[in-house]
Amino acid sequence: MTKALNNTSVTEPTDDNIRRKANEESWKLRYDTYKHLTTLSTGSVLLLVTFLEKLFTKPLWKGLVVASFCLFVLAVLASLVVMNAIAGFIREIEIEKKDEWRGQVFVSIALISFLLGIVCLIIFAVRNLY
């Protein structure tokens, strides 16, 4: 039995294995980012729907609420596309340029629409509270 334990060889990680593992972890972190963005956007939509009538009896600039709602929904949809693409990329090391460009477009849409949704919501709240 001790002979079997002594014959166990330990393989040194290669540069390729290290790079592949780092790439995989990077994609997982990106996936988590968009998972959280989806959660925040969905939560914002639910809060909008739930509290809008209770907080503001006669709201001004209702268009900002509609814009905020649409931007949060767009952020959710774009994040889902990005997460779906990332799930496929985790296994690959090299990504084609067209896929990388397409991914960057949806990443930009997700982030910008979320931030604009928050800005619209803040402007609406400030306008109606003060």
Inter-residue contact 117 to 76 (CB < 8 Å): no
Inter-residue contact 124 to 51 (CB < 8 Å): no
> Does residue 81 lie within any of the structural domains?
yes
What is residue 77's predicted lDDT score, i.e. its pLDDT? Answer: 96
What mean pLDDT is predicted for residues 105-127?
94
Inter-residue contact 110 to 61 (CB < 8 Å): no
Domain count of the fold of the chain? 1
**Does residue 1 have a pLDDT over 80?**
no
Range of the domain at 38: 16-129
Rounded to whole angstroms, how far apart are CA atoms 83 and 67?
24
What is residue 115's predicted lDDT score, i.e. its pLDDT? Answer: 97
- Kindly give the interhelix angle for 62-89 and 15-55, rounded to the nearest 10 degrees: 160
Residues present in the chain in total: 130
Inter-residue contact 79 to 113 (CB < 8 Å): no
- Assessment of whether the complete model's pTM goes beyond 0.85: no
What mean pLDDT is predicted for residues 87-107?
75
> Does residue 47 lie within any of the structural domains?
yes
pLDDT digit string (tens) for 33-86? 999 999 999 999 998 888 887 777 788 888 999 999 999 999 999 999 999 888
pLDDT-based confidence at 113, cuts 50/70/90? very high
What is residue 39's predicted lDDT score, i.e. its pLDDT? Answer: 96
> Does residue 6 lie within any of the structural domains?
no
> Does residue 11 lie within any of the structural domains?
no
> Does residue 49 lie within any of the structural domains?
yes
Rounded to whole angstroms, how far apart are CA atoms 53 and 23?
47
**Does residue 5 have a pLDDT over 70?**
no
Rounded to whole angstroms, how far apart are CA atoms 7 and 10?
10
Rounded to whole angstroms, how far apart are CA atoms 46 and 44?
5
**Does residue 6 have a pLDDT over 60?**
no
What is residue 9's predicted lDDT score, i.e. its pLDDT? Answer: 62
For 88, other C-beta atoms within 10 Å of its C-beta total: 11
